[in-house]
Amino acid sequence: MSITLTTWSLEQTSPSDLRPATPPEGDDVAVRRAEVPSAEFSRFLYTAVGGDIRWNDRLSLTYKQWQEIVEKPGAEIWVAYDKGTPAGYVELDPQDDGAVEIVYFGLIPAFRGRRIGGHLLSYGVARAWDLAERWPGREATKRVWLHTCSLDGPHAMANYERRGFRLFDTKVEEVEESETPGPWPGAHA
């Protein structure tokens, strides 16, 4: 069965575009960079966050392909932890033209709706803007961009817009509906 999929591309073109969210109350939420490139941890985050919203484009990648993604110079994964438990992540992919793409962003379902998403997105966008400070020889970031689609969570687009992202492209297409893979078979049945 085919479904209509709308994909929106959004961007910021200056660090001053970022409108940070208020951090969650208390000291229980921390955001840390995953500094050791780990294909296993990256795949865990990808499936845990995207399993119920049909993230499946990376599921067929080999271990070597995952490792190449996480070892790319300048690529970073920032993880939100709630009381020491991974709650979600932001994956940054630097590009040659001074752009940084937020390739993946989201929360594990159990952590959604707790004001962690806006904080994590704000933190990740700020890290995209100052990426060159951590990677000598990398040119300063000139643009941070991402895309979201009609399959993503119901609050995704509003969160991006509240953080200062602006729409620059919309694409509508008919695609074959895929099953929701979940972090493991039957997780969201």
Helix or strand run (H / E) with residue 78: strand 76-82
Domain segments of the chain as ranges? 2-176
How far apart are the C-alpha atoms of 121 and 21, rounded to whole Å? 8
Task: Estimate to the nearest angstrom the gap between the alpha carbon of 158 and the chain centroid.
Answer: 15
pLDDT value, residue 183:
58
Which positions of the chain have pLDDT values less than 70?
179-189
Which residue in 21, 24, 54, 48 sits closest to 121, CA to CA?
A: 21
In order of 35, 42, 76, 114, 138, the CA distances from 109 in angstroms are: 24, 17, 22, 11, 35
In order of 17, 46, 122, 146, 159, the CA distances from 128 in angstroms are: 13, 19, 10, 11, 17
pLDDT value, residue 86:
97
| Gyration radius from the chain CA atoms | 16
pLDDT value, residue 122:
98
The token pair at 87 is 């709650």
pTM of the entire predicted model: 0.92
Which amino acid does the sequence have at 118? G
pLDDT value, residue 189:
42
pLDDT value, residue 185:
53
pLDDT value, residue 188:
46
pLDDT value, residue 127:
98
Give me the architecture of the 2-176 domain, per CATH: 3-Layer(aba) Sandwich (3.40)
Q: Are 18 and 122 in contact (CB under 8 A)?
A: yes
pLDDT value, residue 151:
84
